[in-house]
Chain A
Amino acid sequence: CVCACLSSLTLSLVLLYKDNSLSGENTVSEEMLAEEARKKSKEEEAAAKERAAQRQQLAIEELVQSERNYLRMLQICSVDIRSSLQQLQPPLANLDRLFLYIEDVMEVSSRLLSLLDRRPSGEPQFLQTLCDSFLSLSSDIEAAYKEYLAYYNQISIVENSYKQKEALWNEIVRIIKASAPEVNASSLSFFLVMPVQRIARYPLLLQTIQKHTDTSHPAFKLLEKTALTSIALNCRINEYKRFREVADKYKKTETLTIKDKINRLNPHSIAKKTARFSQQLKHETGIKPKLVDEEFDAFEGFFNILEHGILVLLENVETYLLHLQRFLDCRTEEFDLDMDGEKSPICYKEITTALRQWILPTFEKRMRTLIHKPLCALRDLLVGPRNLIRKRLDKLLDFEMIESKSTLSYDEQAVANTYRTINTLLLNELPRFNGLALQMIWSMLGTFSCMHKDLAADMEQLFQSFAQQLPHSHLHPSAFWEWAESAVLESAKKLQTVCQNVEDTLNAPVVQPLSPSSQRRLKQLTDKHGSGKIYQVASTVVGSRDLDLNLARGELVAILSEADTRGDKRRWLVDAGGRRGYAPSSKLIRYHQAMEDPPPSPHLIVPLDVTGKRRHSYTPESQPMPMRVVRQPYFQVIAAYDFTARGNHEVSLRVGEPVCVLEPYDKRGNREWSLVEAISGQRGYVPSNYLSMKPVEARPPGFVF
């Protein structure tokens, strides 16, 4: 006994020493850890910068490489394909029209490339070179592309005329495929639409470089300027296209029917018919002057509804512009799902960049200058006539009072004159005002419609350049939507499976960390019932009978009885931290707790009574071996220590030896001894705390320790 105490004392001293030296080490290593952390974050920063630089380099390469490919394609088309087409018999009509402006576009592209080639693209200064080259050529780019784009409709028309003759078209396609076998082209427009696409691509290409360029980069400001220039280019090119469209279309003298109609608007006739509104107004205000001037009332009535119309229109236009601005603000093209190699997201980005960065802004600007601004000016002009009409009414009332008199005083004369003057003025000019205002509004409607047409035309031309690239664009609408919707459904199902997999395998409830309330519950239940009785609810339990409990998934309970009062073993009586009731046993899983501290080693004091009858073994509180397990384990009981039997009623065990527990108590019900059967088949008592549980796979049914 003394020896045992001494040895344990030594052991603890050794530990203490180790502890202190460890803590000394620990202080040093804490510093080292901090230093390491600093180094690590610096490394990470450097790595991130490196990645950004790589991406920037890739984006720059993309711009240069794609320009090269683009020029090559145009050359194949305008040289190889063209010469083959020229040899066709009978000669193709309008062939030259297809290639009218392509030379200029190719020339400016090759000039850009030669400027770029002056420096290797890997050099850090290359970005500067790129921006300078682009900016220096920007006016030439504009000049070349604007003609090409303005003329592109003609190209489509010519190609469509070829498509009408099947044999001819097949021949053309054959030539195309022979000249450019490596490209999946099946029409002339595949090549001829490229400039349309290319000019719209520059903003996105430049913005991508910008995204991966740090603001501290020496060329950053220049890059920004270049990107903005590319957008402005597109705006102006589109504007020019519109200008040419209008000029070309209306070169012939059109019957300007609408213009005539607007100019012939007769405010007088309108006014007479709207007189009733004026009466309504007077009726509402309770004013019924004795002198009723029908003509005036008609004009005033017209003015009233005109005023109302203008104010409502202005409000509606402002609401419209508000929502347009909101739409422009949600930059849906700015996502980065790391899919820049895929066709459809890139196409979407390019289309949306064009829409949001110059096509719609142009529309908005036109809306403001051609409709909103004049409408505001018109509204401001309403004030004058409105005030004058009111003044006239006042004067009218005054006039009515003195009207019947035969002789008027000087002042009364003045009143009469004032009234007459205002009345005459309004009678003359109000209809003119009404008419002009109405004409303005009418013209605005036409402008509004034309703006929408232009917007749609811009988008259509943009879409043309993408039609070839998307895999399913050839499908008819109903077929396309069928495909899209079924693809989406499929994906949703796959996603569901992924979710399920993740949840099933990785989220077994047993390993859940305990919330503070669960920890309290655990302690409470363990203190009361012992840790052997703690179970966890595997899935939500909704009680259906009397005395059934409702339990949440993950809740901890203690088992009070493994059967109900009728002996039904599927219904267990549990303590859920105060509440007691029944729960289905199928939903309860044994909960094993992990222990922070190593369990105290049982001090075994030799039993005083050697006779064998009465067993004393002093053991400190025995606790079942705690384990934290993943799956529902089967516990094999093994001997934790060597035990030498000291009598017939005991059995010797070697450490690690598996045993079968027959009775976890001795003849007197003392749980400090257990009756076991060893491998040898021998049976006998051993101290209970000498036994350990070892988890093994697969739980045999009905096993209860």
Chain B
Amino acid sequence: MSWIPFKIGQPKKQIVSKTVERDFEREYEKLQKLEDQTKKLHKDMKKSTDADLAMSKAAVKISADLLSNPLCEQDQAFLDSITALDTAMKRMDAFNQEKVNQIQKTVIDPLKKYSGVFPSLNMAVKRREQALQDYKRLQSKVEKYEEKEKNGPAMVKLHQAKEELRPVKEDFEAKNQQLLDEMPKFYQSRIDYFQPSFEALIRAQVVYFTEMYKIFSELTDQIDQGGLTDEQRQRETEAKLTELRALSIVADD
């Protein structure tokens, strides 16, 4: 006679208390959010440094292409201005590269490494969940056997079921405790972990902009007409354009 298989139901005894479960959920949620945010920051930082490098290279190209155009060769003062600009741009690009290298080492790489922990952590949480399911299943089995009348075969089955249950219960409890211990610790560790990164980010920019100020103050004194506001610049430009437009050769017939 075949045995009617038991329905795998929920055990009557609460295995994990609601508060513990809720705490677990909360801690895990915090970690999941941390995972998302770290990944996002990593992606944004990478895109930002790529754009930064490209911008700097584009600036170098502006002055380099002008310098290589024969236009500038013929007037010494013009050549001097363009050469000075080109030198400044190349120096800024070098500083920019250094800045990006430092950011790569102290910010982007650590961000990536930090993200690398989450797959293991998520797997561990999954395993705990599986262990919990196994535990619940075997627990309900034991409970079912416990409810039945105590005769020989039933006792044996109960005994077997209890034997089966024990390692699974221990496994779950070990995993559960481990995660309850590790998760908050890991979450807390983010503060000390990222502190140097943020300071480095700021410092790298301070250095870069300090250099930029030095280089471009000097250059501006050399090649810019002093004392102009933006409105004045615009007016001068507009005046030149008007003069150009006034030429007959410009009018398109």
Contacts and interface: CB of A to CB of B under 8 A. Distances in A.
A463 B209 contact: yes
A568 interface: no
Contacts of A466: 202
B65 A313 contact: yes
A597 B244 contact: no
A228 interface: no
Chain B interface SS verdict (over half): helix
B85 A449 contact: yes
Interface in A297-343: 302, 305-306, 308-309, 312-313, 316-317, 319-320, 323-324, 326-327, 329-332, 334-339, 342
A28 interface: no
Contacts, number: 381
A463 B206 contact: yes
Contacts of A302: 71
A86 interface: no
Contacts of A641: 152-153, 156
A262 B228 CA distance: 15
Contacts of B65: 309, 312-313, 316
Contacts of A448: 62, 85
Interface stretch (A377-385, A394-402, A659-667): A377-385
Interface string B38-75: 10110011011011101100110110011001110111
A381 B213 contact: no
A314 B155 CA distance: 90
Chain A interface SS verdict (over half): helix
A123 interface: no
B223 A460 contact: no
A384 B167 contact: no
Interface residues of B, number: 134
Interface in A448-465: 448-450, 452-453, 455-457, 459-460, 463
A348 B198 contact: yes
Interface in B114-139: 114, 116-117, 120-121, 123-124, 127-128, 130-131, 134
A433 B52 contact: no
Given A258-B224, A381-B245, A459-B205, A640 B37 contact: no
Contacts of A502: 117, 120-121, 124, 182
A510 B72 CA distance: 75
A19 B37 CA distance: 49
B32 interface: no
B249 A270 contact: no
A459 B191 contact: no
A247 to B, nearest CB: 8
A273 B74 contact: yes
A640 B202 contact: no
B97 interface: no
B234 to A, nearest CB: 7
Interface of A: 8-9, 12, 15-16, 19, 22-23, 26, 243, 246-247, 249-250, 254, 256, 258-259, 261-262, 265-266, 269-270, 273-274, 277, 302, 305-306, 308-309, 312-313, 316-317, 319-320, 323-324, 326-327, 329-332, 334-339, 342, 344-345, 347-348, 351, 366, 369-370, 374, 377-378, 381, 383-385, 387-388, 425-426, 429-430, 432-433, 436-443, 445-450, 452-453, 455-457, 459-460, 463, 466, 470-473, 477, 480-481, 483-485, 487-488, 491-492, 494-495, 498-499, 501-503, 505-507, 511, 513, 594, 596-601, 625-630, 633, 640-642, 655-656, 692, 694-695
21 contacts: A12-B1, A26-B9, A258-B223, A270-B75, A316-B61, A378-B244, A381-B250, A432-B247, A436-B244, A450-B224, A453-B219, A473-B203, A473-B206, A484-B199, A488-B200, A495-B114, A499-B116, A505-B174, A513-B130, A598-B141, A598-B157
**What 10 A-B pairs are tightest by C-beta distance, nearest first?**
A250-B227, A446-B224, A456-B213, A344-B198, A327-B51, A456-B212, A487-B196, A453-B216, A326-B51, A320-B58
